[in-house]
Structure 1
Amino acid sequence: MKHILMIATGGTIACRQQGRGLAPSLTGEELLEFLPEIRNICRVVVENPLSIDSTDMTAEDRMKIATTVWQNYDRYDGFVVAHGTDTLSYTAAFLYHVLKNLNKPVILTGSQLPMGVEDSDAERNLLDAFRVASAGYVGVAAVLHGKVIRGNHVVKVHTTDMDAFQSIGAPLAGTVDDEGNVRLNIVPLLGGEPRFVDQVDPKIVLMKLVPDLDPSIFDFLSRYPKVIIEGFGSGGIPTRLEKVVQKLIMSGTKVYLTSQCIEGETNLHKYEVGRRAEAMGAISLGHRTTEDALAAIMCGEL
């Protein structure tokens, strides 16, 4: 039977009403009390490094989760991270890039409703995460609503629906049916020795283009070393903004371009506006999700 470390971080799954709305209060041990079936799946040890709303999750907090995995890597067969759903996709991408070449599973999960309330998805999601962690998956993934999604393709697309996450830019890595049977479609190949990226740089600004954006905003952006511009369609810089973006790049700021579209990729070769942006030094983020791009840039990969 697999030996799994559960890392509890708060989030909706651990929430209770506190007078001013939902706030995390259940520990990982208390979450497991709702899962008597867990004894038939794996052996579990719990750590509680955080207990926060995932809206408050920072790079420092995500590094704490990654460090907990890395420091315990040789002691366990896998890891399950109980996390708030609002920023789960950002943490999944972060762990994907910080924890390199894993030969064990790191599975994130959460819920749209707190554990123990009527019609909650928390019990199933947490059980499914342990099932996938015990089933031979390798690497970082999210398990939610019966879906197994690779860590660098996780995107939350709905605020309230139980089926709130999609795998963007890649097929599902697997599924878990209503009876708890795990089917893995993708088992990532090993790519060398496991490695931990211990230095990340979160000083990145993400800016969404709108049709009448004030050009003066780019003067403010010049104080940041890296800027991601979420543009339209296949990507590009509006003609009226080209001079200020070029000035930003010449000041030393790296400018990356991605698309506001949830599917597809940024292709700066398709249109003239894209080619001009590339010629001035803007960097295409291609097929990456915003969450994946942020994590890759933070880790110095781009």
Structure 2
Amino acid sequence: MKHILMLATGGTIACRQTGHGLAPALTGEELLEFIPELKHICKVTVLNPMSVDSTDMTAEHRLRIARVIWDNRDGYDGFVITHGTDTLAYTAALFSHVLRAFGKPVILTGAQRPMGAEESDAEGNLLGAFRVACEDYPGVAAVVHGQVIRGTRIAKVDSRGISAFRSINAPADGIINNMGKVIINHRPERGGEPEFVENVDASVVLMKLTPDLDPTIIDFLGRYNKVIIEGFGSGGVPTRLEKVVQKLILSGTRVYLTTQCLSGGADLHKYKVGRRAEAMGAVCLGDRTTEDALAAVMCGEL
């Protein structure tokens, strides 16, 4: 029987109503009480490194969790992390780059409704996460609403609905069918030797273009080493902003371009505005999700 380490970090899945709205309250041990059938699937050890709303998650929180996973790599067959859904995609992406070639399942899950609430998705998501953690899936993924979505492809697309996540620019890696069977169609490549990335630069700013953006805002971004600009459609820099973006690049700031579109990706070769941006030195982020692009830039991969 596989031995899985569960790390409970808070989020809606662990929430209870307070006089001021929902707030994380349940421990990992308390969450497991809702899925008694788990004892027939795997052995579980629980750690409770933090209990926060995922809105409050920073790179520091994420690296603390990742370090616990790394330090326990040899002691367990897989890992399950319960997490708030609002920033789950950011954590999944960062783990994908920090835990390089990890070689074992690192499965994140959460819920749109608290564990034990009416019509909650929490029990199914958590049980599914453990099922996938017992599979030979060598990398980071999220298990939500019967989908197994790779950590670099997941995005939250609905703030209220139960089926809140989508795999972007790639099919989901697998599903959990109505019988509880895990079907993995795509597995990450195992890569080289496992590595924990120590140096993560969280000083990266993400800016969304709007049609009438004040150019002086871009001047302000010169205090950052790296800037990601979410452009329109296939990507590019509006003509009226080209000079100030070029000034930013010449000052030493690394500028990356992606798209505000949920799928399809950026392509700076398609239009003249994109080619001019590339000629200035802007780096195209292709079909990466915004969360994955941010993580890759933070980890110095781009």
What TM-score, normalized by structure 2, do the two folds share? 0.99
Displacement of 1:189: 2.5
Identity across matched positions, percent: 69
List 4+ stretches of structure 1 deviating above 4 A: none
Deviations 1:125-150 (A, max 9, x none): 00000000012211000000000000
Residue number in structure 2 paired with 1:55: 55
| Other structure's SS at 2:215 match | coil
| Other structure's SS at 2:152 match | helix
Does residue 214 of structure 1 match 2:219? no
Deviations 1:243-282 (A, max 9, x none): 0001111111100000011111211111110111011111
Deviations 1:102-143 (A, max 9, x none): 211000000000001110000000000000001221100000
| Other structure's SS at 2:45 match | strand
| Other structure's SS at 2:126 match | helix
Once residues 180 and 19 of structure 1 are traced to their aligned partners in structure 2, the CA distance between those partners, rounded to angstroms, is 37
What TM-score, normalized by structure 1, do the two folds share? 0.99
Deviations 1:219-252 (A, max 9, x none): 2111111000000000000000000001111111
Displacement of 1:91: 0.2
Q: Is the 8 A contact 2:90 2:291 kept in 1?
A: yes
Once residues 235 and 126 of structure 2 are traced to their aligned partners in structure 1, the CA distance between those partners, rounded to angstroms, is 38
Deviations 1:152-211 (A, max 9, x none): 000000011111000001111000012211100012222111111011000000000000
| Other structure's SS at 1:292 match | helix
| Other structure's SS at 2:34 match | coil
Once residues 287 and 132 of structure 2 are traced to their aligned partners in structure 1, the CA distance between those partners, rounded to angstroms, is 26
Residue number in structure 2 paired with 1:88: 88
| Other structure's SS at 2:115 match | coil
1:1-302 superposed matches below 5 A: 1-302=1-302
| Other structure's SS at 2:123 match | helix
Displacement of 1:212: 0.4
| Other structure's SS at 2:264 match | coil
Q: Is the 8 A contact 2:204 2:224 kept in 1?
A: yes
Q: Is the 8 A contact 2:105 2:135 kept in 1?
A: no
| Other structure's SS at 2:69 match | helix
Counterpart of 2:209, as a letter, is L
Please report the RMSD computed on the Cα atoms of aligned residues, expressed in angstroms: 0.6
Q: How many residues align?
A: 302
Once residues 228 and 189 of structure 2 are traced to their aligned partners in structure 1, the CA distance between those partners, rounded to angstroms, is 30
| Other structure's SS at 1:247 match | helix
Once residues 248 and 199 of structure 2 are traced to their aligned partners in structure 1, the CA distance between those partners, rounded to angstroms, is 26
Structure 2 runs not aligned, ≥5 long = none
Once residues 252 and 176 of structure 2 are traced to their aligned partners in structure 1, the CA distance between those partners, rounded to angstroms, is 47
Deviations 1:83-107 (A, max 9, x none): 0000000000000000011211000
Once residues 47 and 170 of structure 2 are traced to their aligned partners in structure 1, the CA distance between those partners, rounded to angstroms, is 32
Once residues 127 and 110 of structure 1 are traced to their aligned partners in structure 2, the CA distance between those partners, rounded to angstroms, is 11
Counterpart of 2:54, as a letter, is S
Counterpart of 2:47, as a letter, is E
